[in-house]
Amino acid sequence: MSSHPIVLGTRNPGKLREYQSILGELGYEMVSVDAPEPEETAPDFEGNARLKATAYARYAGALTLAEDAGLVVPVLGGLPGVFSARFADCEVDPSLGKVLSYTPSGRPRPSLDEANRLRLLELLAGHEGEARRAYFQMVIAVADADGTILFTASGEAYGRILYEPRGEGGFGYDALFAGDETDGFTFAEVDAARKNAVSHRRKALEKVHTWLLARQGLLTGHGECHKLAQ
Ligand code: IMP
């Protein structure tokens, strides 16, 4: 099968590999784009994924995928949500699920991740049982070469937030997140393959895989694939 390039709006080689391992079997080759990252100004993951896909597609002039993800804690009104990566630098009103202000501290990623986890634990102090339910959400947007959004897909991984971190692997909130599909082990305690098999990214990516397969069927006019489109 000949390979068609798809641009992935990231410079993260780990993300590129995961996309390649799933979409490569359809004959796609993932390539990263060295474009300036657009500001994530949307109020939700889908909005950010769409604006990134459009910006990168216009820059690259090719079919493009972009994603946005984070942790959602319903008892905190959905926080950290789109502020997941920079939560500790935000002043929040958890009763309203709102970020009141954001002041970038400029600290390096590992210490910001740790501060984010601490902030989450502080806000959840006094919350027990069901109130500690949470999920990771990932939205992937696909844009045509001219920036038009063709498709979006969302994936979720459900679990609960522990009282203290467990495990050395992963990143972000992994050490606090005991997944329903990882038998209560945190995403930092299981190996990458086990996390990737049930992750929010995997679930969204599988929907993109199905959509691309249908699109190939439509483009070549073969098979039953037109029934799957959109
Ligand atoms: P990104 O959009 O994939 O960079 O994710 C934004 C932020 O959400 C990250 O900096 C993490 O804080 C959090 N996040 C997203 N996915 C995960 C995950 O799989 N594990 C832990 N944290 C995550």
Query: What is the block-wise mean pLDDT of the chain (230 residues), using blocks of 10 residues?
Result: 80 82 85 89 97 96 96 97 96 89 92 96 96 98 97 98 96 97 97 92 94 84 44
Give the residue, by CA position, lying nearest to ligand 1 atom 11. Answer: 172
Q: Which CATH architecture fits 4-220?
A: Alpha-Beta Complex (3.90)
DSSP 6-58: EEES---HHHHHHHHHHHGGGTEEEEE---PPPP--SSSHHHHHHHHHHHHHH
pLDDT of residue 143: 97
Place of tokens 């999920």: 135
Instruction: Choose the residue to mutate in 168, 173, 200 for probing ligand 1, maximizing ligand atoms within 8 Å of C-beta.
Output: 173
Host H or E run for residue 102: strand 98-102
**Residue 69 Cβ < 6 Å to ligand 1:** yes
Pocket test for ligand 1, best of 56, 84, 113, 161 (most atoms within 8 A of CB): 84
Query: Whose C-alpha lies nearest to ligand 1, atom 5?
Result: 69
For ligand 1, is residue 88 a contact (CB within 6 Å)?
no
Q: Is the CB of 45 under 6 A from ligand 1?
A: no
Ligand 1 within 6 A of CB of 84: yes
Helix (H) or strand (E) holding 123: helix 109-124
Does ligand 1 lie within 6 Å of residue 71's CB atom?
Answer: yes
Task: Name the residue with the closest Cα to ligand 1, atom 10.
Answer: 85
Residue 222 is predicted with a pLDDT of 57
Closest listed residue to residue 70, CA positions, set 91, 42, 107, 38:
42
CA 104 to chain centre: 21
